[in-house]
Amino acid sequence: MSVPLLDLVAQYRTIKDSVLPAMMAVIERQGFIMGPEVAELEAEVAKVSHAKHGIGCASGTDALLLPLKALRLQAGDEVITTAFTFFATAGAIHNAGGTPVFVDIDPATFLISPAAIEAAIGPRTRAIVVVHLYGQMAAMEAILPLARRHNLAVVEDAAQAIGARRRVAAEWRMAGELGTVGAFSFFPSKNLGAWGDGGMMVTQDDALAERLRKLRLHGGARQYHHEEVGTNSRLDTLQAAVLKAKLPHLAGWSEARRHHAAYYTQAFAGSSDITTPVVDRGNEHIFHQYTLRVSRRDQLAAHLKAKGIGHAVYYPLALHLQPCFAPLGYRRGHLPVTEAAMDAVISLPIYPELTEAQRDEVVATVKGFYQ
Ligand SMILES: Cc1ncc(COP(=O)(O)O)c(C=O)c1O
């Protein structure tokens, strides 16, 4: 039996009766630009994230770019982030006019290391982009005091972590709740995926929310009047309608992902070749990815491919080693924990609709390789 890494058609079958009418309502109205579904979704995502404001935009990439643009970075201004993430995290820093400063990660969770952030803070540091990688939150309780002490903005790259939460000072805090701004992606493969591109920013800050609303509409609150130079980064109304219909399912889908993760983790326990995901203390993981650290990773990947088992490596080349960032001067050896991770990680199918038979097939195929 082959098992895909992700099966969006399986999800579509379960939700089409609610999503298609929501889309048709927009189509019947021919109201595609900033229809009421956008503001409704913004309010709902803000609520899920314990945030005061939600501001829809065209993608998760723009949800990072617009808040960074709002900082009005000057040439040479630095933004600290992780190199073990999707390209957009650092691409947005560059495109906002900043210089990414890459720091290392925690070896167990793959999340940005607060100690490494602290060591990298210098006179040109303006912000930190924290990535809640694979669906669990970074150590916000350690990062926020550093940011406060040095007057830095904190952008939470929560593209993979909508609905994830972490106990901070004995209270559940949501991904996107505590930073200056949180950025979500609605890329179709995300836990809350649109049927195209989409993104959203959340913030508690009234003035910042107003600026972000302008920046996504060419920098003006009133049509044809522009206080600053923004761009066209609206959230498409059809996508907002899809997302609104899907949002009530999100908590259940995350629960299903956690259930699959627990099953895998128990099945792989005791193997000296496989390290199962470490959930950081205080975190409720949403398992956007279920990512193992394994020995002989590339051979395992070839074995899975031959057997038809979906898998992926997130991410095979860390951002400090990407050719486009060569001018920054990083080399192999600069971020040893990140480099060890990129050579050892592999992600397995974890989508909510995965069946027990499919899970067993994945487990048997991985175990079969190491036996
Ligand atoms: C960590 C991370 N940041 C940013 C993004 C960018 O989101 P999008 O693809 O919606 O632009 C993604 C997803 O693709 C991501 O995984």
Q: Is the pLDDT of residue 222 over 90?
A: no
**Angle, alpha carbons 169-171-174 (nearest 5°):** 115
- What is the distance, to the nearest Å, from the Cα of residue 337 to the centroid of all Cα atoms in its chain? 20
With tokens 């939460």, the residue in question is 165
216 C-alpha to ligand 1 centroid (Å): 17
Write the pLDDT tens digit of every residue in 181-215: 999 999 999 999 999 999 999 999 999 999 999 99
Closest residue by CA, ligand 1 atom 4:
88
pLDDT for position 90:
98
* Pocket of ligand 1 from Cβ distances under 6 Å: 59-61, 85-86, 88-89, 131, 157, 159-160, 185, 187, 197, 199
Amino acid symbol at 89: T
pLDDT for position 260:
98
85 C-alpha to ligand 1 centroid (Å): 9
Could you write out the three-class secondary structure of the chain? CCECCCCHHHHHHHHHHHHHHHHHHHHHHCCCCCCHHHHHHHHHHHHHCCCCEEEEECCHHHHHHHHHHHCCCCCCCEEEEECCCCCHHHHHHHHCCCEEEEECECCCCCCECHHHHHHHCCCCEEEEEEECHHHCCCCHHHHHHHHHHHCCEEEEECCCCCCCEEEECCEEEECCCCCCEEEEECCCCCCCCCCCCCEEEEECCHHHHHHHHHHCECCCCCCCCCCCCCCECCCCHHHHHHHHHHHHHHHHHHHHHHHHHHHHHHHHCCCCCEECCCCCCCEECCCCCEEEEECCHHHHHHHHHHHCECCECCCCCCHHHCHHHHHHCCCCCCCHHHHHHHCCEEEECCCCCCCHHHHHHHHHHHHHHHC
181 C-alpha to ligand 1 centroid (Å): 15
Of 160, 186, 200, 291, the one to substitute when testing ligand 1's pocket (max ligand atoms within 8 A of C-beta) is 160
364 C-alpha to ligand 1 centroid (Å): 31
Q: Which ligand 1 atom sits nearest the alpha carbon of residue 131? A: 1
210 C-alpha to ligand 1 centroid (Å): 23
pLDDT for position 108:
97
Whether this model's pTM surpasses 0.95: yes
182 C-alpha to ligand 1 centroid (Å): 12
CB contact at 8 A, 85 and 156: no
In this structure, the strands spanning 125-131 and 153-157 are parallel
Q: Is the pLDDT of residue 267 over 90?
A: yes
Q: How far apart are the first and last CA of the chain?
A: 20
CB contact at 8 A, 335 and 103: yes
Write the pLDDT tens digit of every residue in 74-118: 999 999 999 999 999 999 999 999 999 999 999 999 999 999 999
Q: Which ligand 1 atom sits nearest the alpha carbon of residue 62? A: 11
Closest residue by CA, ligand 1 atom 10:
60
159 C-alpha to ligand 1 centroid (Å): 5
pLDDT for position 351:
98
Write the pLDDT tens digit of every residue in 7-48: 999 999 999 999 999 999 999 999 999 999 999 999 999 999
pLDDT for position 337:
98
Closest residue by CA, ligand 1 atom 7:
60
Q: Which ligand 1 atom sits nearest the alpha carbon of residue 61? A: 11
195 C-alpha to ligand 1 centroid (Å): 15
Closest residue by CA, ligand 1 atom 8:
60
Closest residue by CA, ligand 1 atom 12:
159
Rounded to 5 degrees, what are φ and ψ at 191? -60, -35
